[in-house]
Amino acid sequence: MGAALSPDLAIQRQPRVALSWNDSFLLGFAPMDDTHHEFVDCVAALQRCDEASLPETLAAFERHAVAHFEQEEQWMQRTGFPAAQCHADEHAAVLNSVREVAQMLRDGAACQVARELAEALADWFPGHADYMDAALSHWMSKRTHGGLPVVLRRAMPGLSAAVPDLSLQAGAIR
């Protein structure tokens, strides 16, 4: 029998639940919501895939991220969205990290570096979506439809019974 893991190491070895789509991610501008669904799937694949497929899964994530970020940046440029630069800067920082990790893997780094990137992406996405992407979604919806998006979110299992099955929520402009 091997030595028991120290509590700290045991915690580190716990597999984290992969990122999964839920309706709290819906922002109301359908083209963006579709792209974000794909983002979540790409990150989950990076969290779950076996070591042999990590480089290709990371390359697939990079292809997604390039298209995802370019799409949002084109929307901002075409419509004169205010504060576009700080949004684009955040995208650029993420892409830099992805490319650095891809290079580290090519240079023989352990797969752990890509797993840590996947965890960082899973942590980063909700805040970015809630703050920067939500503002852009509202802006695009107002330009397209002349009003704020109405977002239908299914109630999450385990939430209070006070939450109706379908809640009708109109997001506020940040």
Return residues touching Fe ion (CB under 5 A).
72, 133
Q: Which two tokens stand for residue 68?
A: 């995802």
d(C-alpha 145, C-alpha 142), whole Å: 5
> Measured from the CB of residue 121, what is the shortest distance to Fe ion in angstroms?
12
> Measured from the CB of residue 55, what is the shortest distance to Fe ion in angstroms?
24
Pick between residue 110 and residue 131 the one whose CB is nearest to Fe ion. 131
> Measured from the CB of residue 36, what is the shortest distance to Fe ion in angstroms?
6
2 burial level (CB within 10 Å; 0-12, 13-18, 19+): exposed
d(C-alpha 165, C-alpha 174), whole Å: 26
Which residue lies nearest Fe ion, judged by its C-beta?
133
Pick between residue 19 and residue 133 the one whose CB is nearest to Fe ion. 133
Pick between residue 31 and residue 147 the one whose CB is nearest to Fe ion. 31
> Measured from the CB of residue 169, what is the shortest distance to Fe ion in angstroms?
19
Pick between residue 105 and residue 149 the one whose CB is nearest to Fe ion. 149
d(C-alpha 153, C-alpha 168), whole Å: 7
Q: Which two tokens stand for residue 12?
A: 């580190």
